[in-house]
Amino acid sequence: MWSNNKLVQYVYAHVNTKQAYAIIEGMDGWKRIAPTSVDGVSNVLDVLAVAQANNKRVNVYINSSSNQIEAAYFG
């Protein structure tokens, strides 16, 4: 499910793992970035971190069955 025009409130990642999380405006709790690949996690994390640092809005795709972020881009 796409959620559009959202602010990123917080991001968190653990070094050398595929564990990265974000809190997105209007959503409950931390959402994990889907650990499909190392590059996939770091790319989505980069978009979310830049958005948070610059107060930019993003569009995020949350997989409804896993409740994880699978994609993000600037809105």
Instruction: Dump pLDDT digits (tens) for 36-72.
Output: 998 999 999 999 999 999 999 999 999 999 999 999 9
- CATH architecture of structural domain 2-74: Beta Barrel (2.40)
Where do the structural domains in the chain lie, given as residue ranges? Answer: 2-74
- pTM over cut 0.85: yes
Provide the 8-state DSSP code for 17: S
What average pLDDT does range 25-31 have in this prediction?
97
Look at residue 73 in the predicted model and tell me its pLDDT.
98
State the average pLDDT for the chain.
97
pLDDT bucket at 15, cuts 50 / 70 / 90: confident
On the question of pLDDT at 75 being above 90, the answer is no
**4 SS3 class:** strand
CA distance 26 to 42: 23
